[in-house]
Chain A
Amino acid sequence: MSALFGLAGAALVGLGLYGLIVHPEPLRKILAFNLLGSGVFLLFGVIARRGAAAGMGADPIPQALVITGIVVAFAGSALAVALLLRLHQISGRADLGADSAPPAGNGPT
């Protein structure tokens, strides 16, 4: 019953979307974004599983797309975390609120 996994994927997308919108801390947003992405990959996996034919357990093309997606999602998360840490290093805060004043010093230190 791969439909059960599909419903789980849909629920994960919903959870990730809620976390992405609501959490004020950017690191939690990145976490929720990863959750959202893995839910989408699960949907791909369900479609692959339903395409089982020719003696194989699943259709290999969506699985290859998911592997590519996982690697690219990691690359995106790495860039996001690096941006967040640099923001914290420069301004001392790690939130996405409005800037109260430009950081001290002229240009990147």
Chain B
Amino acid sequence: MTLAFDAILIATVLAVAGWTIAARETFAAVIGFVAYGLLLALVWVRLAAPDVALTEAAIGGGVTGVLLLGGAARLRGVVAAPDAWPAATLRLAAAALSATVAAALAAVVLLLPDPAPTLAPEALASLPATGLGNPVNGVLMAYRALDTLHEKVVLVLALIGVWSLAADRAWGGIPGQRRPTRRDDALVFLARLLPPVGIVIGVYLLWAGADEPGGAFQGGALLAAMWLLAMMAGLVTLPAVSSRWLRLALVAGPALFLAIGLAGFVIADAFLAYPEAWAKPLIIVIEIALVLSIAATLGLLVAGPPEQAPPR
């Protein structure tokens, strides 16, 4: 029974993915990609990975969809010339290469070792020492905390890269173009009603992530989405990217993470090691700072490089 459901789900996912590649209009392809992201979240639930499903729905489908839709809307008039498409022989070669790569990966999947090697028992055995009940969050915040620190730094670096694309006259200015003065009433209504609910749900996702599926990234993505909604309705004006408190909010998460990591040399015995009694409070403090930085960074990544000159 579940095999039939899985088969139908996979067939739908592949069909939507194929349509995303084959669609003529870029706008339609982006809509297909957003639908693909949501279907993929269902696939993750079927693979017993609810945290990944939440992250895929929030960041993979949601925020990436907003980013790509904004890009597609601004590039709407630009269509590739018909002779820009590669010749039939090149397309055939590309198809052959893709088919070969896919076949090789399929062979790897079918030849995976049995019984499968796993680190689940070790992960579960050390979990009580961290005070967390969710093993995925235990991996993210304790066992592989270094990866999470790097990931946060990568987000900030990407934001610096985006900000560096500003024109000279807009350097350090306000991201995004000037909002039109005609405000869409339905959007304003949604942007007034949904963000309070969304903020509560985002904080809940962060808090519940200690013991149940959730966590800092999922909660942060939801908070960023609420901020983006208010931005799009024209209810908030973005601060200039040179403003001090904005940069402080962005850096607070990774800076605090790094500071606690360096303190690990002193109070525990390694970088990013937590002393046993203080593990849970330290992790909670890190996660709170992290969720604010993640929300700010994700929102600003979608808003784009500064395009309005900074206010005097």
Q: Considering the complex, which residues of chain A in the window 50-66 have a beta carbon less than 8 Å from any beta carbon of chain B?
A: 50-61, 63-66
In the complex, the answer to whether B302 meets A78 with C-beta atoms within 8 Å is: yes
In the complex, the answer to whether A81 meets B71 with C-beta atoms within 8 Å is: yes
Complexed CA–CA distance, A83 and B67 (Å): 13
Partner of A6, one of B106, B123, B217: B106
Complexed CA–CA distance, A76 and B106 (Å): 27
Interface centre among B72, B109, B162 (most CB of A within 10 A): B109
* Other contacts beyond A51-B117, A75-B155, A84-B71: 20, CB < 8 A: A3-B110, A6-B110, A12-B17, A14-B102, A16-B21, A18-B95, A24-B80, A31-B29, A46-B109, A49-B48, A56-B120, A57-B48, A67-B136, A74-B59, A74-B67, A78-B302, A84-B75, A85-B304, A88-B74, A88-B75
In the complex, the answer to whether B85 meets A24 with C-beta atoms within 8 Å is: yes
User: What 1/0 mask marks residues of chain B from 3 to 30 whose CB sits below 8 Å from any chain A CB?
Assistant: 1001100100110011011000010011
In the complex, the answer to whether A8 meets B13 with C-beta atoms within 8 Å is: yes
Partner of A61, one of B26, B40, B55, B123: B123
List residues of chain B with CB within 8 A of the CB of A60: 119-120, 123, 135-136, 138-139
Tell me the number of A-to-B contacts counted with CB atoms below 8 Å: 281
In the complex, the answer to whether A24 meets B49 with C-beta atoms within 8 Å is: no
Q: A4 near B: Cβ within 8 Å?
A: yes
In the complex, the answer to whether A11 meets B14 with C-beta atoms within 8 Å is: yes
Interface stretch of the complex, out of B143-151, B226-234, B260-268:
B143-151
List residues of chain B with CB within 8 A of the CB of A68: 140, 147-148, 151
Interface centre among A27, A60, A75, A84 (most CB of B within 10 A): A60
Q: B51 near A: Cβ within 8 Å?
A: yes
Q: B1 near A: Cβ within 8 Å?
A: no
List residues of chain A with CB within 8 A of the CB of B154: 72, 75
List residues of chain A with CB within 8 A of the CB of B190: none
Interface centre among A12, A30, A93 (most CB of B within 10 A): A12
Chain A facing B: main interface SS: helix
| Residue in B closest to A109 when the chains form the complex, CB atoms | B167
Partner of B7, one of A4, A30, A57, A86: A4
Given A8-B14, A109-B168 in contact, is the A13-B68 Cβ separation under 8 Å? no
Q: B223 near A: Cβ within 8 Å?
A: no
List residues of chain B with CB within 8 A of the CB of A43: 105, 108-109
Complexed CA–CA distance, A32 and B103 (Å): 18
Complexed CA–CA distance, A105 and B165 (Å): 17
List residues of chain B with CB within 8 A of the CB of A82: 161-162, 165, 304-305
Q: Considering the complex, which residues of chain B in the window 263-312 have a beta carbon less than 8 Å from any beta carbon of chain A?
A: 298, 301-302, 304-305
Partner of B20, one of A35, A71, A97, A108: A35
Pairs A–B under 8 Å by Cβ, sample size 23 = A4-B3, A4-B7, A4-B10, A8-B13, A9-B105, A10-B106, A14-B105, A15-B21, A15-B98, A23-B21, A24-B85, A25-B80, A30-B68, A45-B47, A49-B49, A51-B120, A56-B120, A60-B136, A65-B147, A68-B147, A70-B59, A77-B67, A108-B167
List residues of chain A with CB within 8 A of the CB of B112: 6, 46-47, 50
Partner of B14, one of A12, A24, A38: A12
| Residue in B closest to A37 when the chains form the complex, CB atoms | B60
List residues of chain B with CB within 8 A of the CB of A24: 80-81, 84-86
List residues of chain A with CB within 8 A of the CB of B207: none
In the complex, the answer to whether A74 meets B6 with C-beta atoms within 8 Å is: no
